[in-house]
Structure 1
Amino acid sequence: MPIKIPDTLPARQTLEREGVIVMRETDAVRQDIRPLRIGLLNLMPNKIDTETQLARLFGATPLQIELTLLRISNHVSRNTPADHMASFYRPWDDVRTERFDGFVITGAPVERLPFEHVTYWDELRRVFDWTQTHVHRCFNICWAAQASLHHFYGVPKHELPHKASGVFQHRCLAPASPYMRGFSDLFTVPVSRWTELRRADVERHAGLEILAESNETGLCLIDDARHRSLQMFNHLEYDTTTLSDEYHRDSAKDPATPLPQYYFPNDNANQPPPNRWRGNAHLLFGNWINEIYQTAPFELAEIAAA
């Protein structure tokens, strides 16, 4: 089944060129099924890139997905055109009475700030609490995953001595988890962050299951079953060139910026990097969507009680 997004969303043309089936509103209403309703609270600066990356993964699943793009209500994006935000994004305040089968919150370039110093921290905390009564399952990425575990459990984040950047090998620790179905024992994941959560802090809280981690960059994926949330600290959704774009952006400001590890061929930033994680991204997001489909009530109004 395809993904249903606005006809004029820039992601549509990109996805159609890649062979992802994108559905028009008029075609969707003719199908006698209920699509899975997925909300995307996009906190990334370049919202167009991020919405395209995630829509690509949702559109590859065998179910019809209705994607709703959301933003923090009182925060003005400085890196995405205002007309794009006005045309395609709804403030979270506008959907507070609505329900979603799935809800994704992205990372944000604020991870080196204390949580309480982030200008929209109070609203994000309200969003986390709202998901417990209006969302069936959540998927939090990078800083949002750290923020969720801090909000619900008080788990602290720790600043790294240098940025963790590259494509690192990870171990599957819970092959029986529905989210890890089909994963190899070892698999690669892009990493791009200045902070981390530590295993010892997480293990103090019963019910948090560590699904994957790396010997070099630590925790990667946690299942918070109590809050029906999947916490991903890294970036399987990244495009092939995202780490390259980040490196060239940062090295233009600081020529001493280290290369992303295990990424550029022969550590040559002028050579195009291979994508070694695309299959893992589709597998994880497909498993998450399938778990929603298997467990969500048919009537959206029943989600609060599910």
Structure 2
Amino acid sequence: MPIKIPNDLPAFDVLTREGVMVMREDQAAHQDIRPLRIALLNLMPKKIATETQFARLIGATPLQVEFDLIRMSEHETKTTSAEHMESFYRPFQEVKTEKYDGLIITGAPIEHLPFNEVTYWDELCEIFDWTQTNVHSTFGVCWGGMAMINHFHGVKKHMLDHKAFGCFRHKNLDPASPYLRGFSDDFVIPVSRWTEMKQAEIDAAPGLKTLLGSDEVGPCLVEDPAHRALYIFNHFEYDDSTLKEEYDRDVANGTAINVPRNYYPDDNPSRPPLNRWRSHAHLLYGNWVSEVYLTTPFDMNLIGQTSTDWRR
């Protein structure tokens, strides 16, 4: 939550430059408050696990959030019960006349496919375009982020010769960013992907800014102000055991897989893994929710209009 201090207090400019949530006195006096509407477009096969992971992070702030679950209209999941989908999810075509303060688009286990060969690609592109008129801020995660940055900027995904798998050290490249309030200078993030985005190609796309990156696994978090979007290619939302479950599954199936790096103590899969990213996961998603709260219009009919900062 923001701190309200006098506009002319010396700390005001210092804290603003550091990315601390500072609210002007006149801004606080005229502030209206309502619940935030945030939706999850869940493309993962394990719907229940994924919705729980994101709900845990979104629900950790003191703000009241209405959390909606959205699915692709025609694509039917084979790994989650029809009863669960019918009870809790709405197809996109049913919600596309509505407006949301925030939208999270998850990853999907279809990295090997070219984007245009994904069975629901046309509807997903429709959703990307819909965010520009009906969503205040969008957060694309892993494949979802790669697909969105490709749609809007033409940035390509590239296949890796081996899976990036484990917990990798990342650098805070923009400590003053409001999305990185409280972040350490470096930290670990779970990574599980066969593809990558190249930093040089992101740099060549006008308006994009990389906020988090790794010397080993490349860019991680990219801000796209023009499209009111963030793209993250790695998995802060993962539970303690998610990488273990992926590793155990591949071992059981006889699939060639490396032990996830820097995940198990001493890289020994017989030992219980330690969660070393939980605090930064809550920071990132809490900061995003806070920015949505500070910048979204009180009148939801105004979402998608030209201004992207309603604090001014």
The TM-score normalised by the length of structure 2 is: 0.87
Shift of residue 254 of structure 1? 2.2
- Counterpart of 2:234 in structure 1 is 234
Structure 2 counterparts to residues 1-306 of structure 1, below 5 A? 34-254=34-254, 256-305=256-305, 306=307
- State how far apart, in whole Å, the 2-side matches of 1:154 and 1:58 are: 30
Shift of residue 304 of structure 1? 2.2
- Counterpart of 1:9 in structure 2 is none
- The structure-2 alpha-carbon separation of the partners of 1:33 and 1:199, relative to structure 1 and needing over 3 Å to count, comes to closer
Residue type matched to 1:201 in 2? E
Shift of residue 103 of structure 1? 0.4
- State how far apart, in whole Å, the 2-side matches of 1:304 and 1:219 are: 28
Residue type matched to 1:254 in 2? G
Residue type matched to 1:303 in 2? I
Query: Identity of counterpart residues, as a percentage?
Result: 58
- Counterpart of 1:22 in structure 2 is none
Structure 1: unaligned runs, 5 residues or longer: 2-31
Shift of residue 169 of structure 1? 0.5
Query: Secondary structure, in 3 states, of the residue corresponding to 1:123?
Result: helix
Shift of residue 107 of structure 1? 0.1
Shift of residue 255 of structure 1? 5.7
The C-alpha deviation readout for 1:214-273, integer Å capped at 9, x for no partner, is: 111111000011100010000000000000000000111126421000001122212110
The C-alpha deviation readout for 1:116-144, integer Å capped at 9, x for no partner, is: 01000000000000000000000000001
- State how far apart, in whole Å, the 1-side matches of 2:93 and 2:233 are: 26
Residue type matched to 1:174 in 2? D
- The structure-2 alpha-carbon separation of the partners of 1:147 and 1:205, relative to structure 1 and needing over 3 Å to count, comes to same
- State how far apart, in whole Å, the 2-side matches of 1:208 and 1:254 are: 40
The C-alpha deviation readout for 1:166-192, integer Å capped at 9, x for no partner, is: 011000001111111111110110001
Shift of residue 33 of structure 1? 5.2
Equivalent residue pairs, number = 276
Query: Secondary structure, in 3 states, of the residue corresponding to 1:297?
Result: coil
Residue type matched to 1:173 in 2? L
Query: Secondary structure, in 3 states, of the residue corresponding to 1:112?
Result: coil
Residue type matched to 2:274 in 1? P
- Counterpart of 1:19 in structure 2 is none
Residue type matched to 2:163 in 1? K
> Runs (4+) of structure 1 moved beyond 6 Å?
none
Residue type matched to 1:54 in 2? F
- The structure-2 alpha-carbon separation of the partners of 1:205 and 1:85, relative to structure 1 and needing over 3 Å to count, comes to same
